[in-house]
Structure 1
Amino acid sequence: MRLAVLGGGGFRVPLVYGALLRDRAKPRVEEVVLYDVSAERLEVIEHVLRRLAAGHDDPPVVRTTTDLDAALRDADFVFSAIRVGGLAGRTADERVALDLGLLGQETTGPGGIAYGLRTIPVAMRVAERVAALAPRAWVINFTNPAGMITEAMRQVLGERVIGICDSPIGLIRRAAAALGLDPARVSPDYVGLNHLGWLRGLVHEGRDVLPGLLADDAALRQVEEARIFGPEWARTLGALPNEYLYYYYFTREAVAAISGPTRGESLLSQQEAFYAAVRARPDDALAEWLSARRQRDASYMAEARDATDAGERDAADLEAGGYEGIALALMAAIARGEPATMILNVRNGSAVPGLPEDAVVEIPCTVGGAGVRPLATRPLPGRLLGLVQQVKAVEQTAIEAALTGSSRLAVEAFALHPLVDSVSVARRLLDGYRARIPELAAVFPS
């Protein structure tokens, strides 16, 4: 099989290739085509992959290209992890909001809207080229904001685009481990949107064990999300929230905690150093990547952990892997007909009551050779459903704004978001992002 990786010069691509190296079942990915707009970044990542493959029998062949059509032609799977505007755009996503006293974050709040507004037109062009050159391919979307981008691409690709995220599986893995259970032997009741969901139940051998976890302070302290939110708030909700809900439930604390460099600014500095080091010393590519990866993983959501005294990330959790395993499991389930149940970003239909049928939601699904089928969920209580409905309305307004180039709709998307407290501020956000991010200004020139 042939896998096209869009954003192939990205820092996390070696994680995907490493997962492919460990996959020995047939059929398997035998060719990986890396596409990126930067030939220099592709060259660096190719050095890392070459060293990862050393000592492996029959590793997938790697090709690189800056020609999108060449990457997509005849692909069986397309993994999309593009970053329109690069990390410089991410730093602007964060800083424009922070300068206005709002949360500055990559996928949540104003920054997530800005990211989506400039990414959707590019993602739609990708979808159109996939439809033309690889109509039987499955697109696995990890481009953020994942739910919004997946929903936009569905307009072209329908069911053949599926969004993935590693946050839900990480939460489930931590909750199961805190109870001494094998994560593979529990069934999660998880529901929401990408980066906005709740684990409401965890069934093991026919019994929901989540209430017991919520009642046990010692066990809860083993779950990073519970340390971030606090046991009492988790018990108040009757659920374990996705880590990104920290930005909604503790907004003031989240903004106040970003006192030094933002996450984007730190990553920009770190990755510039990594790419420069590998260009200077290609033989050290793998060692440089492993070192940079450890730093990156350890600092993930550090502001939330620092503000809540949640402590360092668990070493075993860091080693457990993330989205690359989900991507591989999804490809295996479809290509080899290996049935699996996974939490994915898919069209709602009637799975989540209270949301539009065409809305992309993040819920458990069954996956196999015939594709993906979302599983029905229990209705959300009003205190959760209202937030989901409001953020979904923002996402759908942002999609329409990006597809039409309407500044009025872009302002509406910002203004409707629960983390933006003023229509006047929404207008200033759009102006600020246009001034800082050329790719967004091109979508909304006036």
Structure 2
Amino acid sequence: MRLTILGGGGFRVPLVYQALLGDRGEGRITSVVLYDTDRGRLRSIGAVLRQQAAKYSDAPAVTETTELDEALRGADFVFSAIRVGGLEGRTVDERVALDLGVLGQETVGAGGIAYALRTLPVAVGIAQRIAELASEAWVINFTNPAGMVTEAMIPYLGDRVIGICDSPSGLGRRAALALGLDASTVFYDYAGLNHLGWLRGLQSGGVDRLPELLADSTALGAFEEGRLFGVEWLRSLGSIPNEYLHYYYFARETLAAVQAVEQTRGTFLLEQQSAFYAETARRPDDALELWQKTRAERESTYMVESRAVADAGERDERDMSAGGYEQVALSLMRAIAHNERASLILNVRNRGTLRHLDDDAVVEIPCTVDANGARPVTVSQFTDHQAGLVCAVKAVERSTIEAATTGSRAAAVRAFAWHPLIDSVTADQLLNAYATHLPELSRFHP
């Protein structure tokens, strides 16, 4: 089986390869093709992967290419993890928004819209090439904003493109472990959009254990989301939000915290990863050691401003060692390739599951996966509050897709103006500033 990784020079690619090394099942991935537009990054990550493989006699073969068509031909699975504009673009996404007094997080609010506007045309182009050159391949999308990118690719790939994120499964696992449950046997009643969802139930042995968790202050306050949102707020909601909802529920406090620091998250990662790639080029024999050190620092500082606002302390070591999106991707690939039935929370078409959204809306929801792909399962319906926020953000997503695929300035302005975290009077200013600072968005100049 052949896996092509788009964005193969990306920093987190070794996580995927490590998961593949741990897969000992029959019919596993035996060939990995790394595609990237940056040869230097490809060489660095290729060096890391070769050192990871040193202890394995049957490690998947790794090849590197800067030719997209070459990478796609013969692929059984295509893993899309591109970052259009690089981390340099992310720093602009953040800083432009902050300078205008709104949150600039890379997937939420103004920063997410700007990121999507430059990413979606590239993602659509890739989808068209996959449809032409590897029509039988399954596409696993982790390119952010994951739900929006997946929805934009579906017209060309249908249900053979599936979006993934590790946040929902991580939330469910932490909630289950807080009650001492076997996380692998629990059904998570979770629904929403990517980076905008809620855990509404923990089904174990035919019983919903979430009310028990919400009533137990010690258990509820013992894991990341309990510390991040606070016990009383979670009880008021009657559910446990995805960590990214902290940007909505504590918008003013988070904005103030981000504005108070000298360095945005994007700037931190840009400096950190630039140093890693430069040092790896100088010391290729130490690539794996350098990557491991850099990754540990990266993970420990994840969502640091939100945790500071909530006084949540440092991240739990268990959260950083339990495996993330790479394990979701591996489980998804195995379920499809070997018809191994699996239950995963994925980004797929709604197909009537959530009544507030149409059938083609991409939602993040539990699915049953087998050789036929992913099918959403029945979950509880949204509360009025959840439905209102999800429908508002879905309208933003669709206006962003329209703007990115047609070049419509009016659609782009609507996307900014409609977002719950953006003051509508700044929509034009945001778009103009992004168009000035990001070459990919110059077509949106008035």
Same-fold call, TM cutoff 0.5? yes
Report the CA distance between 1:445 and its aligned residue: 5.0
Who is 2:131 aligned against?
Answer: 131
Who is 1:391 aligned against?
Answer: 393
String of CA shifts for 1:43-87, please: whole Å, max 9, x gaps.
Answer: 000000000000102100000000000000110000000000000
Q: Which runs of 5+ in 1 are unaligned?
A: none
Aligned partners of 1:342 and 1:366 also within 8 Å = yes
Give, as a single letter, the amino acid of the residue that structure 1 aligns with 2:42.
Answer: L
Give, as a single letter, the amino acid of the residue that structure 1 aligns with 2:296.
Answer: R
**In structure 2, how many angstroms separate the alpha carbons of the residues matched to 1:438 and 1:322?**
33
Report the CA distance between 1:278 and its aligned residue: 0.4
String of CA shifts for 1:287-337, please: whole Å, max 9, x gaps.
Answer: 000000000000000101111110111111210010000000000000011
String of CA shifts for 1:236-283, please: whole Å, max 9, x gaps.
Answer: 110000000000000001101112211101000000010011001111
String of CA shifts for 1:208-256, please: whole Å, max 9, x gaps.
Answer: 1111111111101112111111111100110000000000000001101
**In structure 2, how many angstroms separate the alpha carbons of the residues matched to 1:388 and 1:372?**
22
SS in structure 2 at match of 1:95: helix
Who is 1:312 aligned against?
Answer: 314
Who is 1:417 aligned against?
Answer: 419
Who is 1:101 aligned against?
Answer: 101
2:264 to 249, 262, 277: 262
Who is 2:431 aligned against?
Answer: 430
Give, as a single letter, the amino acid of the residue that structure 2 aligns with 1:82.
Answer: I
Who is 1:140 aligned against?
Answer: 140
**In structure 2, how many angstroms separate the alpha carbons of the residues matched to 1:345 and 1:444?**
29
Give, as a single letter, the amino acid of the residue that structure 1 aligns with 2:358.
Answer: P
Report the CA distance between 1:376 and its aligned residue: 2.3
String of CA shifts for 1:397-440, please: whole Å, max 9, x gaps.
Answer: 11011110011110010000001112x30000001111111122
Aligned partners of 2:146 and 2:165 also within 8 Å = yes
Who is 2:82 aligned against?
Answer: 82
**In structure 2, how many angstroms separate the alpha carbons of the residues matched to 1:396 and 1:293?**
34
Provide TM-score, normalisation by structure 2. 0.99
Within 5 Å, which residues of 2 pair with 1:232-381?
Answer: 232-258=232-258, 259-260=260-261, 261-381=263-383
Who is 2:112 aligned against?
Answer: 112
**In structure 2, how many angstroms separate the alpha carbons of the residues matched to 1:102 and 1:369?**
44
Give, as a single letter, the amino acid of the residue that structure 1 aligns with 2:332.
Answer: L
RMSD: 0.8
Aligned partners of 2:344 and 2:366 also within 8 Å = yes
SS in structure 2 at match of 1:54: helix
Q: Which runs of 5+ in 2 are unaligned?
A: none
**In structure 2, how many angstroms separate the alpha carbons of the residues matched to 1:376 and 1:182?**
22
SS in structure 2 at match of 1:197: strand
**In structure 1, how many angstroms separate the alpha carbons of the residues matched to 2:310 and 2:319?**
19
Give, as a single letter, the amino acid of the residue that structure 1 aligns with 2:114.
Answer: A
String of CA shifts for 1:124-158, please: whole Å, max 9, x gaps.
Answer: 00000000000000000000000000000001101
Give, as a single letter, the amino acid of the residue that structure 1 aligns with 2:383.
Answer: P
Within 5 Å, which residues of 2 pair with 1:178-189?
Answer: 178-189=178-189
Within 5 Å, which residues of 2 pair with 1:169-248?
Answer: 169-248=169-248
Report the CA distance between 1:386 and its aligned residue: 0.3
**In structure 2, how many angstroms separate the alpha carbons of the residues matched to 1:273 and 1:403?**
35
**In structure 2, how many angstroms separate the alpha carbons of the residues matched to 1:435 and 1:321?**
39
Report the CA distance between 1:357 and its aligned residue: 1.4
Who is 2:54 aligned against?
Answer: 54
SS in structure 2 at match of 1:266: helix
Report the CA distance between 1:378 and its aligned residue: 1.8
Aligned partners of 1:77 and 1:137 also within 8 Å = yes
Who is 1:29 aligned against?
Answer: 29
Could you list the structure 1 runs, at least 4 aligned residues long, displaced by more than 3 angstroms after superposition.
none
Q: Which piece of structure 1 moves more, 156-165 or 217-226?
A: 217-226
Distance 1:409 1:158, change over 3 A: same
Aligned partners of 2:436 and 2:445 also within 8 Å = no
Give, as a single letter, the amino acid of the residue that structure 1 aligns with 2:357.
Answer: L
**In structure 2, how many angstroms separate the alpha carbons of the residues matched to 1:326 and 1:372?**
13
SS in structure 1 at match of 2:353: coil
Provide TM-score, normalisation by structure 1. 0.99
Report the CA distance between 1:184 and its aligned residue: 0.1
Give, as a single letter, the amino acid of the residue that structure 2 aligns with 1:225.
Answer: E
**In structure 1, how many angstroms separate the alpha carbons of the residues matched to 2:57 and 2:368?**
32
Aligned partners of 2:432 and 2:444 also within 8 Å = no
**In structure 1, how many angstroms separate the alpha carbons of the residues matched to 2:445 and 2:402?**
16
Aligned partners of 2:196 and 2:242 also within 8 Å = yes
SS in structure 1 at match of 2:190: strand
**In structure 2, how many angstroms separate the alpha carbons of the residues matched to 1:348 and 1:161?**
14
SS in structure 2 at match of 1:378: coil
Give, as a single letter, the amino acid of the residue that structure 2 aligns with 1:89.
Answer: G
Size of the alignment, in residue pairs? 444
**In structure 1, how many angstroms separate the alpha carbons of the residues matched to 2:253 and 2:50?**
44
**In structure 1, how many angstroms separate the alpha carbons of the residues matched to 2:152 and 2:441?**
17
Aligned partners of 1:174 and 1:222 also within 8 Å = no
Report the CA distance between 1:377 and its aligned residue: 2.2
Report the CA distance between 1:24 and its aligned residue: 1.1
Aligned partners of 1:84 and 1:439 also within 8 Å = no
SS in structure 2 at match of 1:413: helix
String of CA shifts for 1:151-188, please: whole Å, max 9, x gaps.
Answer: 00001101000000000011011101111111101111
Give, as a single letter, the amino acid of the residue that structure 2 aligns with 1:337.
Answer: N
